[in-house]
Structure 1
């Protein structure tokens, strides 16, 4: 990708991504294309990270081992359900995954927790407000079905390794 296209992509994604600045978005784009390049060498034409490549990243980078949880995280990133995480899904997914607010994380996790007894208003239904109240009372409910978010140590290691001077990068 030439510098002009990279800059345009960076500007577009950074403008719509509230948890990363422009430098961080550029670093994540660079990482994405390095990872996709690695995948492309092993397979035919790939336009993004497939489920197996994505799960490998979760395992190696964030220490995740539960197949079901890793598949849920993949589906959370793959918003268009095409079986690949493209560069936009990568940036927006990592934004929430690494730096999302409690409210944002709750909205993503709420569907997974419907079986828990959280019906605070006793109307026989689990509404988002019921779920939100439960999570605010006990934040560990976000992890009730396994760790699906990075632990702080993994998050810091990832960010310190990835967010460096993009001037060091060669053209993608």
Structure 2
């Protein structure tokens, strides 16, 4: 059973408040409480306290309606900065800071990290193909669906590959997003949609005067 005592909660809130520029102190406390609630769903035994991959993916699915396994896995990895297989409370707050309230620059870096599947600093043609194949609905037709996705990859590269090297660097991606903000989630939804975002904040950040 994971619980945060009042004293521990205040200490955690103090330490994470300093690093958070998008949440106020009350909001951070609410998010830490939610963190401890989600720890109850964590099934993997681990030496340090954190939300495991399954509990985190379940949170993304039930709270924000995410369904793409590959994208949810990549979002988990984007939160899990030290790559230890769990999201600790500091990673939880800093991850949600960008996920919920990041500015365009922060969200661009985050989305690129999600889409760069092998972490080599580029989004390759193959990575685009995998992500678009996953995120597009399967349409019943006689044509080979892979051909349609290959065409879509070609169109995407033509629009976003500014240095024409057959892959997207961060500079290519950032320039494209600055020109057309809709391209931020070009390879699958990895940020909350407006409706689920508002519902989440309304539920988690209840006005303390209403309690």
Which TM-score applies when normalising by structure 2? 0.71
Q: Which runs of 5+ in 1 are unaligned?
A: none
Given the superposition, is the C-alpha separation of residues 166 and 14 from structure 1 closer, same or farther in structure 2, using an over 3 Å criterion? farther
The structure with more radius of gyration: 2
How far off is 1:128 after superposition? 3.2
Structure 1 residues 33-44: aligned runs within 5 Å? 33-39=36-42, 44=45
CA distance in 2, matches of 1:168, 1:52: 33
Given the superposition, is the C-alpha separation of residues 25 and 167 from structure 1 closer, same or farther in structure 2, using an over 3 Å criterion? farther
Find the counterpart in structure 2 of residue 80 from structure 1.
Answer: 82
Q: 2:14 aligns with which of 11, 16, 20?
A: 11
How far off is 1:4 after superposition? 2.1
Q: 1:63 aligns with which of 57, 62, 65?
A: 65
Given the superposition, is the C-alpha separation of residues 139 and 43 from structure 1 closer, same or farther in structure 2, using an over 3 Å criterion? same
CA distance in 2, matches of 1:64, 1:19: 23
Structure 1 residues 59-138: aligned runs within 5 Å? 59-111=61-113, 112=115, 114-115=123-124, 117=157, 118-120=160-162, 122=163, 124=165, 126-138=168-180
Of structures 1 and 2, the one with the larger relative CO (CA 8 A, separation 6+) is 1
CA distance in 2, matches of 1:44, 1:126: 38
Q: 1:158 aligns with which of 177, 184, 200?
A: 200
Find the counterpart in structure 1 of residue 147 from structure 2.
Answer: none
CA distance in 2, matches of 1:165, 1:152: 20
Given the superposition, is the C-alpha separation of residues 165 and 8 from structure 1 closer, same or farther in structure 2, using an over 3 Å criterion? farther
Which TM-score applies when normalising by structure 1? 0.86
